[in-house]
Amino acid sequence: MIIESRIEKGNPVVGMETTVFVHGLPRKEAIELFRRAKEISREKGFQLAVIGILKGKIVAGMSEEELETMMREGADKIGTREIPIAVAKGKNAATTVSATIFLSRRIGIEVVVTGGTGGVHPGRVDVSQDLTEMASSRTILVSSGIKSILDVEATFEMLETLEIPLVGFKTDEFPLFFSRKSGRRVPRVESVEEVLKIYETMREMGFEKTLMVLNPVPEEYEVPHDEIERLLEKIELEAEGKEVTPFLLKKLAEMTNGRTLKANLALLEENVKLAGEIAMKLKR
């Protein structure tokens, strides 16, 4: 197999992307998050498989050293379509949500975790592969909503068009990453059991889509969406394509004295916990 999987068969496992570590966070915070996420998985009793491509080798279950190597040497940010090219060219590549979901399915991982997913960018035709991959692979994806920097209305509509099921975990509101509220309603679930009931229905029907479980950022870390919008208006975009998210995240962190960074770390930690709980209760 072209994928080097370090997952022990039969144990609950959660797949996690590498882009959030390599392109979404400063290095120090990224390593701290990796350690914290690993610690959570050990305490709770599930496996956390960080997925990435190292010199053309797809690895599921990267070590801290490997992640550090990626950060030091640099790694492309890739979606699903770039996987075969990165492998053939022997590159280092950090997987986004789309590539992580695709690879997770190939090795039998059904629960995936991230901070915020991609969507429709404002102003031009730039629609994340995250959406099309969620529309073609059956997994459970725990996130805190879509990245606040996106066109929220357009993304929300596109999720419907692509028939991607979503539920709010203990919320009726579609959350927006740093923010708990968007004014858009979603079906609410109260428990992991309820999530699994929906997913098991999908599995039985051969419903090959990703179930988005939306877990809002903890209240004490929230940065309200109108504040984010005001800040975004002030930023002059000096990036394009795949560079846009890392550029804006960095700017926002600077402008909020690190509040958005703290929010990002807090929600990622909570999402790892919830994804772990889901994986542990999932019937195999």
Pairing of strands 111-113, 93-95: unpaired
Tell me whether residue 47 or residue 129 sits nearer to ligand PSU (CB atom): 129
Query: Facing residues of 146 across strands?
Result: 117
Q: Is 126 in the site for Mn ion (CB under 5 A)?
A: yes
Name the minimum Å distance from CB 242 to ligand PSU: 5
Give the one residue of 13, 16, 20, 275 binding ligand PSU; rule: CB under 6 A: 20
- 262 is a contact residue toward ligand PSU (CB under 6 A): no
Selected from 5, 47, 104, 128, the binder of ligand PSU by CB under 6 A is 128
State yes or no: residue 17 binds ligand PSU (CB under 6 A): yes
Q: Judged by CB under 5 A, does residue 269 bind Mn ion?
A: no
Residues in contact with 256: Cβ distance below 8 Å, sequence separation at least 6, in sequence order = 223, 227, 231
Q: Residues at the annotated binding site for Mn(2+)?
A: 126
Provide the terminal-to-terminal Cα distance of the chain, rounded to the nearest Å. Answer: 22
Residue of 91, 147, 242, 251 marked catalytic: 147
Among 15, 9, 11, smallest CA distance to 271 is for 15
Determine whether 17 is an active site residue. Answer: yes
What ranges in 45-141 are assigned the alpha helix state H? 64-73, 83-88, 97-106, 129-134
**Does 24 interact with ligand PSU (rule: CB under 6 A)?**
yes
Cβ-proximal residues to 204 (8 Å cutoff; 6+ apart), any chain = none
Does 249 bind ligand PSU (CB under 6 A)? Our answer is yes
| Known catalytic membership, residue 181 | no
- Decide: residue 124, CB within 10 A, 0-12 exposed, 13-18 middle, 19+ buried: exposed
**Residue 180 site contact among Mn ion, ligand PSU, none (CB < 5 to 8 Å, cut-off depends on kind):** none
Q: By CB under 6 A, name the binding residues for ligand PSU.
A: 17, 19-20, 23-24, 79, 96-97, 115-118, 128-130, 147, 242, 245, 249, 264
Active-site amino acid positions: 17, 147
